[in-house]
């Protein structure tokens, strides 16, 4: 399954300038990347081989929020970093496997008292209470995601409910971790049958373990990192983007990314960021589930390394990187409220430490309720921003994400649909005939129509026997003009004739049987 991923990077080689992509995010990929400043403008170039792009952004109108670099070959100048700082844009570097290498954003609140409260919280009741609130929100969101998964998930829902009940009765950090781990095992077990849709032409060369979620742990390393199939690779990538956004929010609010509450302190790990991510992970899960339901993937969008590790390649990785600001909106209120809870343990002149809402600007004054809780994190996914999709037939990347087939595969697909429709029709006719109903003769509806027609002719013969000769001109002269303002539906309901026949009458093309004249003549007076 090893493929040359350099041939799969789909970029448009052009000398014209490129602006900011979706959602205020500029994503650069490939080799020999360059980001610098020229005459006050941010200039950049990226790509692979001859397939390269270049662009220029100005401070006033660029609208840049994130500059995301995927890869490790290239250079970013110090002047470019200052340019990004001046416009308030963050700089993020992700490795090809989704590992977060650099996350740099503007620092906001800088209060050592808040960080001291954060450091002490890991061993006191405030940290235990925060941990329980974060995990309870996570379990609630996971239960909502389970409702969207295929197959039987009742056992997983029961495990999550049991864990929630256990968490309500304890604030012991060790016990909370154990309960969360048991719920996570059941939750990911329910994901095992979630499929991914590949293009038809790619199916013969797709390994079996690529077609389903399988298990959360990698077949290669036994850990969630180094995914061995596409769905887990997509999930790891979304988690990496979520991690960068929570880290940016953490720094902006004045907290330390590394001082964790439930995640132990380790070198080179943002333990506090991983704590806050917990209730947000199901949002990324729900986003991925929507993506799997709506999108077709091509084998060329994934690359299998020599060790068997599955990685994403552009434009898929680029599309996912553009979701950063979406997840930032989810992270901001959560980080603010965690900071607020920590700040309440610090008193200043007899009052809790004031924590401004720098991220959401939701509080312009102190006239708010004294008690704030961790916000409820529902599992409803953000709006899907993936701007690419593959043809379901051949796997080529489509320009219009609302379509499912390219122009070459569309005629074949339509022929298949016609054949399938015809086959279904023949099968249904055979089923009806086996049940004793002949559709070609009209079936039950034909019997009903025949009975109504029989009654109608009988009524006409009875009227003819009692009445005399009538002149059709009388109807055209005295009754027809009065029917022009009456709706066809009302004419049909009153006379018992069909709407089509009433239309012919009103146009003067037909003269109804005289037994209907009196009824029609009285309608213009209603």
**Domain boundary assignment for the chain:** 5-94, 112-398, 442-525
- Indicate whether 257 pLDDT > 80: yes
CB 477 within 8 A of CB 516: no
Q: Which helix (H) or strand (E) holds 337?
A: helix 324-343
CA distance 266 to 515: 96
Provide the mean pLDDT of the chain.
83
Which 8-state DSSP code applies to residue 477?
I
Work out the pLDDT band at 15, boundaries 50, 70, 90: very low
Work out the pLDDT band at 13, boundaries 50, 70, 90: very low
Work out the pLDDT band at 7, boundaries 50, 70, 90: very low
Domain at 112-398: CATH architecture: Up-down Bundle (1.20)
Average pLDDT rounded to a whole number, residues 299-318 = 88
pLDDT for res 44: 93
- Indicate whether 173 pLDDT > 60: yes
pLDDT for res 106: 73
C-alpha pair distances (Å), 133 with each of 99, 272, 331? 28, 15, 15
- Indicate whether 516 pLDDT > 80: yes
Q: Which residues contact 517 (CB under 8 A, 6 or more apart)?
A: 470, 475, 479
- Indicate whether 3 pLDDT > 70: no
pLDDT for res 140: 93
Q: Which residues contact 265 (CB under 8 A, 6 or more apart)?
A: 258, 259, 271
pLDDT for res 212: 93
pLDDT for res 79: 95
CB 9 within 8 A of CB 47: yes
What are the residues facing 41 on neighbouring strands? 38
pLDDT for res 17: 43
Burial class (CB in 10 A: 0-12, 13-18, 19+), 259: buried
Work out the pLDDT band at 243, boundaries 50, 70, 90: very high
CA distance 354 to 367: 12
Closest CA to 134 of 274, 23, 259: 274
If you count them, how many residues does the chain have?
526
pLDDT for res 199: 92
Long-range contacts of 102-111 (CB under 8 A, 24+ apart): 103/243, 103/244, 103/247, 103/248, 105/248, 105/251, 105/252, 106/252, 107/251, 107/252, 108/251, 108/252, 108/253, 108/254, 108/358, 109/252, 109/253, 109/254, 109/355, 109/356, 109/358, 110/254, 111/254, 111/353
pLDDT for res 2: 37
pLDDT for res 366: 46
Lowest mean pLDDT among 83-97, 300-314, 485-499: 485-499
CA–chain centroid gap for 337, Å, is 26
pLDDT for res 50: 81
Looking from the CA of 78 toward its CB, the CA atoms found within 13 Å total: 0
pLDDT for res 141: 92
Lowest mean pLDDT among 265-269, 439-443, 449-453: 439-443
Token pair for residue 208?
């079996």
* pLDDT higher at 236 or 462: 236
pLDDT for res 12: 39
Burial class (CB in 10 A: 0-12, 13-18, 19+), 163: buried
CA distance 380 to 383: 9
The residue written with tokens 């600001």 in the block is 325
The rounded percent of the chain whose pLDDT value lies above 70 is: 87
DSSP per-residue letters across 406-468: -TTTHHHHHHHHHHHHHHHHHHHHHHHHHTT--GGGTHHHHHHHHHHHHHHHHHHHHHHHHS-
The rounded percent of the chain whose pLDDT value lies above 90 is: 29
Lowest mean pLDDT among 184-188, 273-277, 377-381: 377-381
Instruction: Mark out the alpha helices in 17-151 (DSSP H runs).
Output: 78-87, 112-121, 125-146
Average pLDDT rounded to a whole number, residues 87-91 = 90
Lowest mean pLDDT among 51-60, 327-336, 421-430, 431-440: 431-440
pLDDT for res 377: 58
Work out the pLDDT band at 396, boundaries 50, 70, 90: confident
pLDDT for res 372: 55
Work out the pLDDT band at 69, boundaries 50, 70, 90: very high
pLDDT for res 235: 94
Superfamily of domain 5-94: CRISPR-associated endonuclease Cas1, N-terminal domain (3.100.10.20)
Q: Which tens digit of pLDDT belongs to each residue from 289-303?
A: 999 998 899 999 998
Lowest mean pLDDT among 202-216, 361-375, 459-473: 361-375
In this structure, the number of other CB atoms found within 10 A of the CB of residue 36 comes to: 16
- Indicate whether 438 pLDDT > 90: no
Closest CA to 26 of 85, 92, 78, 71: 92
Q: What is the pTM of this model?
A: 0.72
The residue written with tokens 């995010």 in the block is 25
């Amino acid at each position: 399954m090893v493929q040359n991923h350099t041939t799969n990077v789909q970029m448009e080689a052009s000398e014209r300038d490129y602006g900011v992509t979706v959602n205020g995010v500029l994503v650069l990929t490939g080799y020999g990347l360059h980001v610098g400043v020229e005459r006050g403008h941010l200039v950049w170039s990226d790509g692979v081989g001859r397939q390269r792009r270049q662009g220029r952004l100005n401070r006033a109108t660029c609208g840049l929020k994130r500059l995301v670099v995927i890869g490790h070959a290239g250079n970013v100048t110090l002047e470019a970093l200052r340019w990004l700082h001046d416009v308030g844009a963050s700089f993020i570097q992700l490795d090809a496997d989704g590992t977060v290498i650099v996350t740099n954003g503007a620092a906001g609140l800088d209060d050592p008292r808040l960080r001291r409260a954060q450091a002490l919280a890991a061993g006191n009741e405030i940290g235990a209470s925060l941990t329980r609130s974060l995990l309870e929100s996570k379990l609630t969101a996971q239960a909502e995601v389970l409702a969207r998964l295929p197959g039987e998930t009742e056992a997983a829902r029961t495990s999550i409910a049991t864990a929630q009940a256990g968490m309500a009765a304890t604030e012991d950090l060790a016990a909370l971790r154990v309960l969360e781990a048991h719920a996570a095992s059941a939750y990911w077990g329910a994901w095992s049958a979630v499929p991914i849709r590949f293009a038809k032409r790619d199916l013969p060369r797709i390994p079996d373990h690529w077609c389903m979620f399988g298990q959360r742990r990698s077949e290669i390393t036994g850990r969630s990192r180094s995914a061995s199939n596409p769905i887990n690779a997509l999930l790891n990538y979304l988690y990496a983007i979520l991690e960068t956004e929570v880290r940016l929010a953490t720094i902006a609010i004045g907290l330390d990314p590394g001082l964790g509450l439930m995640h132990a302190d380790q070198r080179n790990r943002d333990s506090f960021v991983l704590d806050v991510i917990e209730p947000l992970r199901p949002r990324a899960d729900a986003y991925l589930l929507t993506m799997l339901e709506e999108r077709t993937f091509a084998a060329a969008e994934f690359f299998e390394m020599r060790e068997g590790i599955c990685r994403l390649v552009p434009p898929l990785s680029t599309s996912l990187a553009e979701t950063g600001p979406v997840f930032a909106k989810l992270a901001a209120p959560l980080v603010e409220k965690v900071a607020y809870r920590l700040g309440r343990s610090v008193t200043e002149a007899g009052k809790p430490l004031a924590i401004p809402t720098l991220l959401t600007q939701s509080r312009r004054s102190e006239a708010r309720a004294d008690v704030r809780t961790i916000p409820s994190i529902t599992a409803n996914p953000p709006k899907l921003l993936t701007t690419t999709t593959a043809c379901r037939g051949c796997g080529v990347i489509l320009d219009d994400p609302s379509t499912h087939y390219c122009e070459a595969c569309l005629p074949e697909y339509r022929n298949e649909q016609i054949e399938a429709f015809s086959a279904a029709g023949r099968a249904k006719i055979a089923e009806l005939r086996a049940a004793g109903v002949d559709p070609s003769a009209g079936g039950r509806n034909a019997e009903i129509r025949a009975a109504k027609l029989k009654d109608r002719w009988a009524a006409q013969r009875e009227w003819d026997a009692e009445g005399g000769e009538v002149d059709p001109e009388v109807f055209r002269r005295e009754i027809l003009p009065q029917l022009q303002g009456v709706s066809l539906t009302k004419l049909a309901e009153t006379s018992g004739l069909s709407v089509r026949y009433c239309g012919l009458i009103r146009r003067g093309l037909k003269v109804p049987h005289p037994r209907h004249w009196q009824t029609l003549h009285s309608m213009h007076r209603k």
